[in-house]
Amino acid sequence: MITISNDNEFRIELNKLSVSQQRAVAALFVENVLSLYEDDRIKRAVKLAENPATAEDELQMAHKMAKAASVESYTRCGADGDWRDQAGHFVAKAAATCVAPGAKENLAWDVAMYCRMARTCTNIARDESSESGENEAQYQLLSEFVG
């Protein structure tokens, strides 16, 4: 198994993956923060992203559902600036990116960043240190994924 210890190595390994593989590893990143936003649409999108055999029309439908969850969570963030709602918004954005039609090459990186932002928002809400725990978890997930 490879060892990833920083974002540069992380990006290099992500760039070696096909779009289908990036979807699958991005889904693992979202699963790691899924507890921050309970929404069945997000869970469904993640499950579809994990499966390389998912049809394009299923991805499009999942993207619409995840995008709707993202918009709803953004609306809840509102002027109050609730950090937990903001975390949920980033989880939903990450899931929507996983299943976006015509996905771009760096989709796993984008998802990783949304997941990190979600974790940071949760840490702020809990008044906890926002050290690089999510980064390290993603490095480990990618290392295991590429074997």
Least confident of 43-57, 70-84, 131-145: 70-84
Q: Is residue 2 part of a domain?
A: no
pLDDT band at 102 (very low <50, low <70, confident <90, very high): confident
Domain encompassing residue 15: 7-146
In sequence order, which residues have a C-beta less than 8 Å from that of residue 50 and are 6 or more positions away?
23, 24, 27, 28
Report d(CA 76, CA 93) in Å as an integer.
14
- Give pTM, 2 decimals: 0.90
Greatest Cα-to-Cα distance within the chain, rounded to the nearest angstrom: 46
Indicate the number of domains in the chain.
1
Q: Is residue 141 part of a domain?
A: yes
Host H or E run for residue 88: helix 83-98
**C-alpha closest to that of 37 among 79, 94, 113, 81:** 94
- pLDDT value at 74 more than 70: no
Q: Give residue 129's pLDDT.
A: 75
